[in-house]
Structure 1
């Protein structure tokens, strides 16, 4: 019976050995001193050592690269009976690799006699982990760091800069006109441009600098340990210069302007959020120049940015709060002094801040797209008011209303004008729409059909601020324009710069050739008026006749048949 039990036991030992031998993880058995007694085939494959090269060697010293760690592992094994973790090891060919280890004691009658180690090559797991980390902290398109990594690095660098009393800078970079490239050439070209732009930026910075793409066409750079502000500006200028060369993408040669905003620690902010916000503010200020530009943050910029933020929010509900008013400025026949029309001018009076100048809120309304609804409000109320004056019995005059490019770009703009005229009952001949010369020059092909339809409707069209844009004679002759309005900057300086006299005379002569009328804006003195009359200018507008006034004051002009005495 005992012999039968012994045979079964030996067979079980043989089975266990086969199980261990065929395990895909390396298995090692050592005596209590650590001398290796047995290893399986997987151990040989992982380490590169043959069985005979391992047997008899001491586990605690055999290829233990991190000896101090192995000493701690040994203590933990004998105190707790097991240890799990990771340590570096070295294969026979010298390659260092991460090894996942599971150690446990083998006891006989509660007395430790041996221990076993189960090891696994963790290289693949580490590679996957590294790949995950790469994807977590890198931008998939450009290979640059992403926003999450950049913010973390910025926090860390700020701590060091504070401790060492060093300066550092944050850049915000934006590719101007990138949306147009995507829209007209496709996203594939846009993606290639981003990749090439990323490489150019990287080439211009130092090894210690961190470049990131934080979204769209926006890049950020972290410059640790700069000597002074000028050092950061030099790097920004180097980047700017690199973008002067065109990007060659497929068959396209693309010239790209960039806008760079800079915030410097500790001058422009003491924490990561503040530096990021301030660099962003500086970048948007640089974009306003419409060309490659570097802008350093300043307190004035901060004040402007906060003001812009407040106005953007106030504009959201401005029509519901009924805070807009229309003012009117007479347009006078220069030969007779009689008022023939007026320009309707938008004014905004808030409860919180009082009067807000148009120069501040109109650009914000343009950029946010709110100019569309605001422009419709102006057009409808101007038409309604003019019709009301006519119904009251006042002499009929035309009202001129400024139109934004955003309104002209709407496919149903002509239909909206038509509906407003029908709604208010105003005849089309008493409405004049003004566009700036820069709009006519940049969008001639897009707006030509719109102008034709408005002209067919009977609405008059004029070009405002003439002389400040780039209209050509061929463009002007094609458009159904009835008036040119000479920009007030030329009129104001008639007796300061003789060139302005020549320019004004040339504009009047050109308009006469094209069979257009001319309105001179910004007339403030009788001397200016006399020159314009002698030059055969048709109409004038300015504070000499009257500044813009509210509805009640303008009605007095209508009631008294406004007439300026022209000598």
Structure 2
């Protein structure tokens, strides 16, 4: 930090303050004594560290330093001096006389270099010369400063100035104003003559402008500069910002000010000033400030402004013993729309989502775009969890309705995590992080909902990170296993298809089922790589059975929404089938109604392309989703899979099975195949067979089993057929 000298510039060198630094006490004392005899004010420093300490606390005109000192050498002391008081001169007094040392010292700022042992007369002559130079430098700086002020003053009175130049009398009335007022504000300079300067001030700035002229501290050397808005007239539009610099004048300094205005003799100018138009600068500053704290796409506060407001809200909540809520919102299926329709449509969607979200919140709430498709919402001063729950439900309902993006109708959802102050944290970072954790738990449990943060979630999050790491390794180490559940003809009991189901042979936790890791795979986007591995294994295995005599055997695979909604879904699937040499006619892909209805137009096109190649399309969990029967007429659907929850309703009577009855009847009418899932009993099988259900699968014929067990079942089936 630079320290200004607290004494006047040295003119009498005997009054100079000198710091002497050396690590040799004897030499230090000798040099200090010599200088004190000459009338100098000497401070001794034993070593470099002591010298730096004194430079930090005292003001010196000159420092005389040895180069070789322990702890801190002379070069380090010079660097410190340059930092804390750059006006302090330096003379090196050292036994080191090599060219490199001398050169380095002079480059480091030393004014001169004296070799030990020194001649006293030479020492004093060098010292006086250095102090004289210091005095000249200070005097030059003082003159330069006065010249700069004088030049600035003269610039003000140049009538060709691009700024408004004006003079006021003692009562604040205009007695001169240049013609620049006409082009900038639309006033005639003559009409303002004799009018008070308040006449052109914006009403919000009248008080500040009046006070500026009454301030007794302003002088010609210390003018007052303020920013105010001036009123425009005529063709001018909005009021404009001006930077006004003004100061009082007197007859001695400004003889012409006594009777400046010839039309009103005797009126004396008492204030001189200029007004510079800074409207564009103010607008640029406002825009830069807006950019710094807002997201330009949605015009919402950004992360920086959100954290500022959250900090303030936490302080107020702590003081007033109130609650507040932080919500973390993440759009569901946004990435798919962005990848499919393009970033321009994605931007339009974000703007449309913002409008709906803003319609659900209170005036004092803060909705911000945190990044990408993530938003945060601050609800200050709420009463309880129910207030936050009510807002969360409104947000979810607002986003559920379809969005119209040009010719496209798209659906998104929103997953919301909620952290309450002070239960879920008392600091900014805790509340945001815990709201984020709660949001991820919503994602893992099906999306399009909300959850409040609880401490158990932190434990789950730690497990989640560990499981995510293990899952990535599982993909690299081929730890995934494919199990197969038979799809059996209801009439003759023959295996006509196999549904491929994934298992994870975890090296430590043993065999894991889909419910243990598929939600995480979806959330982390590992589902694509996982599905490709499963499909590759299943295609290779089932192809062997097809070539081994089971030529009509069908492979059924479940596909995740992420895969189906990907722009290159068809291209990727076809490429993988070709790589594995698997016949497209033996593949049946299973997707849910919700996936279809999320983007009916795009999904329809993809399914038609696959159907044209011979791939069969099955609707999984039919009846649990949108159940909009209209799409069944327009899509190449081959099979409906009755969800096991409906099959479970079948008991001994027919009353509890009305939904199954309706689905089977509808499938027959549309000439679609039917597969009933979750068949476990003779009664269920008999009932379904009586309805005319084509195929069944479930524990009645066994759970999903590894390839070895399925191979034995197929061999036995072939053997029976031969008998």
* TM-score tier after normalising by the smaller chain length: 0.5 to 0.7
* CA distance in structure 1 between the aligned counterparts of 2:533 and 2:581, rounded to whole angstroms: 16
Structure 1 position 200 matched with structure 2 position 359: yes
Kept in 2, the 8 Å contact 1:23–1:42? The answer is no
1:222 aligns with one of 359, 378, 382: 378
Counterpart of 1:542 (choices 698, 707, 712) is: 698
Q: Does 1:325 find its partner at 2:481? A: yes
Quick check: 1:441–1:471 contact (8 Å CA) kept in 2? no
Q: Is the 8 A contact 1:261 1:296 kept in 2?
A: yes
**Whole-Å Cα distance in 2 between the matches of residues 370 and 542 of structure 1?**
28
Could you say what secondary structure the match of 1:329 adopts? Answer: strand
**Cα contact 1:523–1:540 (8 A) shared by 2:** yes
Cα distance in 1 between the residues matched to 2:575 and 2:709? 29
Aligned to 2:454: 298
TM-score (norm: length of structure 2): 0.55
User: For the structure 1 residues 544 and 247, does the alpha-carbon distance in structure 2 shift closer, same or farther, using more than 3 Å as the test?
Assistant: closer
CA distance in 2, matches of 1:134, 1:462: 52
- The alignment status of 1:278 with 2:434, answered yes or no, reads yes
Structure 2 partner of 1:24: 156
Residue 500 (structure 2) pairs with residue 344 (structure 1): yes
1:326: Cα distance to partner? 0.5
Aligned partners of 1:178, 1:99: CA distance in 2, in Å?
52
Q: Structure 2 CA distance, aligned partners of 1:406 and 1:557? A: 34
Higher relative contact order (CA 8 A, sep 6+): 1
Classify the secondary structure of the residue corresponding to 1:158.
Answer: helix
Are 2:368 and 1:212 aligned?
Answer: yes
Residue in structure 1 matching 2:542, options 382, 386, 391? 386
CA distance in 2, matches of 1:178, 1:427: 34
Q: SS where residue 560 of structure 1 aligns?
A: helix
Which entry has the higher C-alpha Rg, 1 or 2? 2
Which structure 1 segments of 5+ residues have no match? 1-14, 27-40, 52-61, 75-82, 103-116
Q: Please, what TM-score do these two structures have when normalized by structure 1?
A: 0.67
Q: Does 1:153 align with 2:325?
A: no
Alignment partner for residue 708 of structure 2, among 537, 552, 556? 552
Q: Secondary structure at the match of 1:401?
A: strand
Where 1:433 maps in the other structure, the secondary structure is: strand
Deviations 1:341-383 (A, max 9, x none): 3222111233354444313433444455443333332222212
1:408-427 CA-partner distances (Å, limit 9, x unpaired): 45676556555555554554
Q: Compare 410-419 and 433-442 and name the one that shifted more.
A: 410-419
Matches within 5 A, 1:27-42: none
Structure 2 counterpart of 1:170, from 326, 333, 336: 326
Q: 1:368 to 1:390 in 2, by over 3 A?
A: same
d(CA) in 2 for partners of 1:248, 1:401: 32
CA distance in 2 between counterparts of 1:391 and 1:254 reads 43
- 1:562–1:525 CA distance, 2 compared to 1 (3 A): farther
Alignment of structure 1 residues 396-435 onto 2, 5 Å: 397-409=553-565, 420-421=576-577, 423-435=579-591
C-alpha separation between the residues in 2 aligned to 1:253 and 1:549? Answer: 42
Structure 2 residues not aligned, in runs of 5+ = 1-146, 159-164, 176-208, 232-241, 248-270
Shift of 1:265: 1.4
What is the rounded CA distance, in whole Å, between the counterparts of 2:568 and 2:371 in structure 1? 34
- 3-state DSSP class of the match of 1:214? strand
Q: 1:430 to 1:45 in 2, by over 3 A?
A: farther
Matched residue count? 501
Corresponding residue for residue 521 of structure 1: 677
- Contact 2:411 2:598 (8 Å CA) reproduced: no
